[in-house]
Amino acid sequence: MKNRIIVISIVGIILLGTFNILSKNNSKIEVNSKVIKEISSLVYTKEEREIGIDRLTTLLEDKKYLSKRNKVELISKLGLLYSMNGEYHEAIEHFIESINLSMKYDDNYRMAKDLMNMAHIFVNLDGYKTAERTIKYALNLDIEDEEEKRVINEYGYINLADIYSRIDETDKSLEYIEKSIKYGTSHKANTIARKIIEARSYFYKGEITKADEILSEINIDKDIDDYVLIDTYIPYLAVRTKIEFAKGNEGKAFELSEKLFDICDKEGQIDIKLSNMKYLLNYLESPDYKYDDEIITHYRQELIDLYNEISPEKNEESVFYIINSIWDRMHYLESLETKAMMYIGAGFMTLILILVFYILISRLKNSINKSRVDALTNIYNRMFFDLTYNKYLKKGIGFGLIIIDIDFFKSINDTYGHAFGDIVLKNVAKVIKNRLSKDDIIFRYGGEEFCILSENKGLQEVIDLSELIREEVERMVWRENIKVTISLGISYTGESDDMFKQADSNLYKSKNSGRNRVTY
């Protein structure tokens, strides 16, 4: 009897201890759940997001006090914070892990949100088609809860509208804005996002006044302050800057550009700054703008510095880092309970792997190409000329420099319009490019000026090439029945301490002695 009492007492103590441990654990889980929600609100500035990342990472390390749902939410929130800070390799790794866990726990709502957040990264990396496919995949996921399905549909259609507004499918963008409205509004930020996307769409349709009216509906001081800068204020400034340039308000446009670039610097949004700086430079280098060389040089140097900051080596390193991380995560699928789920999961993860690999490699190539190529003529730009020209000088190789100017181009623009002027620029560039060998490189230097760097040729060969190009352009036929000619100036290694100055001086002589000629 005595032994029985002792056994019962021991069992009671164990049960009481177990209850206390469970109570403490449940209490910690509840506290952690509140902390996750509290930290999730730390998104307004980069500094706040970095604090949030540190605290969430600490919570994640203490896994035993996280419920399954909290763990998935925490990993997903980390992905979002990294994404908002422009740390895409970290963001994608966390989204992939969150998607894995969401599949295991049959949480299609969380999976859809993570897929759309990944799509947002793809958009920032110029991977619009990949982003579109990812969002459409998310929209097709089976979500039983009606409110969750409504939220995903609204968010998905807004994001699709955003993509289409950026790739000149403006009618499609406006169509998806209307579709998103049918699902109501979860947040005032969505209303602001719709207006920004709608304004961008009308801007690219050429309806500047309409775009201006829509964007002016946003009370910038009242509406923007309460929301995340990168979700609202940065896109707003990007569209507003373009509109002000189009309206001819250059002072205001420059002021807004600097404000945009400053916020991008503070928020770590290098890709967004890069995209908008390229737009600004294209505007400054257009024939319409009487540019100041100091301004051009300033922004061109900033652009070069930005590309150095996200150098190909860094991008390539990120590609392999992410790919290896994802492959490691895919081993997790082996622990899923059924083969069917494993096959579904592995197939889905392979799709994601391919998407990520494709977009990052594409981004690597696109970043390099876009930094070098003039948007209008599709030949190399002035920034890449400066880099190549200086490289040739440092190598000490023999080469020729040809500077070309389209004769009376301003008169062509004034008489026939800027649209025809653009056609002249594109077709002259095409004719010149078709006459070059693999040792020759053509660049658009600015406005109606082009440069050619010619390697592995003697001076006479460079002169012959220049004459051939001049004759080809003179023979071109135009629908306006006009004659387009070019003037050319040449310099060659060893002829002058400043080859560019010499070629430019020879171009000046060609123009002053009747145009449509070559001077060397």
Active-site residues, by number, are 448
Residue 424, token pair as written in the block: 């002249």
Q: Where are the domains of the chain?
A: 31-141+311-368, 382-519
- Residue from 483, 485, 480, 493 nearest 469 by CA: 485
- Residue from 316, 356, 281, 276 nearest 94 by CA: 356
Neighbours of 391 (CB within 10 A): 11
Instruction: Show Cβ contacts of residue 405 under 8 Å, excluding neighbours closer than 6 positions.
Output: 448, 449, 450, 486, 487, 488, 507, 511
- Report how far residue 125's alpha carbon sits from residue 182's, in angstroms, rounded to the nearest whole number: 29
- Residue from 286, 268, 274, 197 nearest 45 by CA: 268
For residues 247-255, give the mean pLDDT: 89
Average pLDDT, the chain: 79
Angle of helix 270-284 relative to helix 293-309, nearest 10 degrees, comes to 150
Q: Are 348 and 134 in contact (CB under 8 A)?
A: no
3-state SS, residue 471: helix
From the number of C-beta atoms within 10 Å of its C-beta (0-12, 13-18, 19+), residue 116 rates as buried
Instruction: Show Cβ contacts of residue 393 under 8 Å, excluding neighbours closer than 6 positions.
Output: 499
Residue 210, token pair as written in the block: 């309409």
Which pLDDT belongs to residue 366? 59
Angle of helix 88-104 relative to helix 312-330, nearest 10 degrees, comes to 20
3-state SS, residue 415: helix
Instruction: Show Cβ contacts of residue 215 under 8 Å, excluding neighbours closer than 6 positions.
Output: 195, 196, 199, 236, 239, 240, 243
Which pLDDT belongs to residue 264? 86
In CATH, the architecture of 382-519 is: 2-Layer Sandwich (3.30)
pLDDT higher for 305 or 11?
A: 305
Best mean pLDDT range from 2-16, 109-123, 178-192, 361-375: 109-123
pLDDT band at 148 (very low <50, low <70, confident <90, very high): very high
Which pLDDT belongs to residue 323? 44
pLDDT higher for 274 or 253?
A: 253
Which pLDDT belongs to residue 29? 43
For residues 447-463, give the mean pLDDT: 94
Which pLDDT belongs to residue 468? 96
**To the nearest 10°, the Cα dihedral for 72, 78, 82, 88?**
-20
The CA angle 109-123-207, to the nearest 5 degrees, is: 115
Which pLDDT belongs to residue 349? 54
Instruction: Show Cβ contacts of residue 334 under 8 Å, excluding neighbours closer than 6 positions.
Output: 342
For the cut 90, the answer to whether the pLDDT of residue 214 exceeds it is yes
Q: Tens of pLDDT along 336-372?
A: 444 444 444 445 555 555 555 555 555 555 555 666 7
Give, in words, the CATH class of 31-141+311-368.
Answer: mainly alpha
Claim: this prediction has a pTM higher than 0.85: no
Best mean pLDDT range from 187-191, 335-339, 427-431: 427-431
- Report how far residue 451's alpha carbon sits from residue 445's, in angstroms, rounded to the nearest whole number: 6
Which pLDDT belongs to residue 476? 93
Q: Tens of pLDDT along 38-57?
A: 555 555 677 788 888 888 88
pLDDT band at 113 (very low <50, low <70, confident <90, very high): very high
For the cut 60, the answer to whether the pLDDT of residue 217 exceeds it is yes
Distance separating the N- and C-terminal Cα atoms of the chain: 119
CA 93 to chain centre: 19
Which pLDDT belongs to residue 339? 41
Share of the chain above pLDDT 70, in %: 74
CA 256 to chain centre: 19
Q: Are 343 and 337 in contact (CB under 8 A)?
A: no
Share of the chain above pLDDT 90, in %: 37
- Report how far residue 152's alpha carbon sits from residue 145's, in angstroms, rounded to the nearest whole number: 11
